[in-house]
Amino acid sequence: MKILVTGGAGYIGAVLCEQLLAAGHQVRVLDRLYWGYTPLEHLRGRVEIVHEDVRAINPRVLDGIDGVAHLAGLSNDPTAEYNPDANWQMNADATAHLAVACKQRGITRFTFGSSASIYDGLGDGLFDETAPVKPRGAYSLSKFAAEQSLLSIADADFAPAILRQGTVYGYSPRMRLDLVVNTFIKDALLRGTLFLHGGGWMWRPLVDITDVARAHVLCLSADPADVGGQIFNVVHGNFQIRQLAMLVAGSLLLHDKTVRLEDAPLPKINRDYRCANGKLTEKLGFTPHVTVLESIERMLKALPLQDPSELAHPRYYNIKWMTLLEEILSTHAGERSIWDVVPLDAAVGARAPSSLDGPSPSKSLRSL
């Protein structure tokens, strides 16, 4: 199949592109490219890249597409709170508009990267996909609204699969160090200390990035009748934050690096919830299996252990990077902002470096 991956140059998207290609699919990426082309550099010549804003998609981006993996949007609480309007436009409104466009085009297969943070605030318990959720943050509210818009138009001709992804960990070509396990590795290497906010007793559902990508590939390949209009929790297991800190500290000891654990005050945004993952196994025969320890070891092999100062670079942190881009644009481009919608004529006009182009797209799909 030919799959459109929105947000394909992002943290999860870059890994999903790899897996789709490995499974024999063709890939077209639509991305605002806040982090440039670098996350897809290793896939040069194998993917089409369309530099476009998910809020203003040219309908011709869907030409020849058999399925869509929709990952584009703001991806955590800090960025959502930083600009709630842009968060709602990207995560909620853009999802609804893309879904309608796909249905009008007869594109049946559709996966949506939602978030298990929707369960936050429900109290103690192990929540499955039937739980009566009550999202409370800007990020989870926008994700839930997007889910509702997808389910409202789901039928035999449009079969969206909603993947409520746990807190993701693991290595990606577009690496993030602002996710709990990844952050602990960074703090351990840079500071030699891990801070346990509120003692670290809070629960989180976690999943490795390769398992998340695998879930999208399986849903796109499954019979739409089996996954359409369905919600799936994508979780490897539930962990307390202090457990994760101990796993990171223990792994670093094997690399001759000692890590201290210290208590710290609770942060302003504090999540505490657990999720069940049985439905994914029951429906698709797939259980996320990459353990935290396996993922930690892979990251340690990929990150600069001898000179970890590189890990402080803003590009590894969504809110820091976007804040920096915003400052640069406000200084050099007047009223322009990274939150502005990219006009269609600008998004489809010029051409990307030929080294990154995949099979020649139509003129309307030329990449920036």
For residues 323-347, average pLDDT: 69
Q: Nearest to residue 191, comparing CAs of 208, 170, 177?
A: 177
Contacting residues for 94 by C-beta, under 8 A, at least 6 apart = 54, 55, 57, 72, 73
Q: The tokens 């359409």 sit on which residue?
A: 228
Q: What's the pLDDT tens digit per position in 10-31?
A: 999 999 999 999 999 999 999 9
More confident residue, 208 or 344: 208
Number of domains in the chain: 1
For residues 352-359, average pLDDT: 38
- The model's pTM is 0.91
For residues 210-217, average pLDDT: 98
Q: Containing domain of residue 202, as a range?
A: 2-365
Q: What's the pLDDT tens digit per position in 264-311?
A: 998 877 889 999 999 999 999 999 999 999 999 999 999 988 889 999
**Pairwise CA distance, residues 54 & 132, whole Å:** 29
Give the C-alpha distances (Å, rounded to integers) separating 10 from 31, 32, 125, 173, 307. Answer: 8, 10, 32, 9, 25
Q: What is the pLDDT of residue 269?
A: 74
**Pairwise CA distance, residues 332 & 323, whole Å:** 14
Query: Which CATH number characterizes residue 72's domain?
Result: 3.40.50.720
Q: What is the pLDDT of residue 258?
A: 95
| Helix, strand, or coil (residue 283) | helix
Q: The tokens 């200390």 sit on which residue?
A: 193
CA 342 distance to own-chain centroid: 21
Mean pLDDT of the chain: 90
Q: What is the pLDDT of residue 338?
A: 72
Q: What's the pLDDT tens digit per position in 167-189?
A: 999 999 999 999 999 999 999 99
